[in-house]
Amino acid sequence: MSVLCANLDRAPLSGLPRAAAVSRRSQVLRAALLALRDWMTAAEVVELARRLPDGWVPVLFEGWRPQSMVLSYPTRRKFIAAVQGHLDRMDDPVQVAEVAAAVEDLAAVLPDRLFVRKPGCNRTTRTGTAR
């Protein structure tokens, strides 16, 4: 993410350049950030904006409609569909591995609530260790 951050710090305040000028990985990272934002409260989005590099802040607020209530956690299918919906005119469907890599890049700045697991769930946690 550091390479992306270095380039995005020079992005114009209106957001990132559109699809032709941005790599596929950057597009998926942007779409995953926007999809995650859609499941956050307004307070969580503002806190996330404080943690993001300056170049990503305008992207975070692009088309944002603040939520006052916490939405239920999306299923994997709904989340992938939300990421696909935020991709600009992409003909190729987004792959699960691409979304997983984007979320992994964002994990350090995301709210802890997004990583809460149900009791007995043996999936990897934010730090990469199994519960």
**Which CATH number does the domain housing residue 9 bear?**
1.10.490.110
- Domain extent at residue 14: 2-115
pLDDT for 93: 84
What is the rounded CA–CA span in Å between residue 131 and residue 128? 9
Q: Which residue has the higher pLDDT, 80 or 117?
A: 80
pTM assigned to the model: 0.67
pLDDT at 3: 44
- Report residue 129's pLDDT band, with 50, 70 and 90 as the boundaries: very low
Q: Is residue 98 part of a domain?
A: yes
Q: Is 85 within the bounds of a domain?
A: yes
Tell me if 39 is assigned to some domain: yes
> Is the predicted pLDDT of residue 104 greater than 60, yes or no?
yes
Contacts of 51 (CB under 8 A, 6+ apart): 109
pLDDT at 116: 57
Residues 6+ apart with CB under 8 A from 100: none
Residue 34 has what pLDDT? 92
- pLDDT above 90 for 12: no
If you average pLDDT over every residue of the chain, what do you get? Answer: 74
Neighbours of 94 (CB within 10 A): 21
Query: pLDDT of 23-74, one tens digit each?
Result: 888 899 999 999 989 888 888 899 999 999 998 999 999 888 887 666 777 7
Residue 129 lies in a domain: no
12 burial (CB, 10 Å; 0-12 / 13-18 / 19+) is: exposed
The answer to whether position 30 is within a domain reads yes
Residue 126, domain member (yes or no):
no
- Dihedral pair phi/psi, residue 130, rounded to 5°: -80, 145
* Distance linking the first and last C-alpha atoms of the chain: 26
**How many structural domains comprise the chain?**
1
Task: Categorise residue 124: left if φ over 0, alpha if ψ from -120 to 50, beta otherwise.
Answer: beta
C-alpha to C-alpha distance for 124 and 131, rounded to whole angstroms = 7
In a domain, 121, yes or no: no
Residue 125 lies in a domain: no
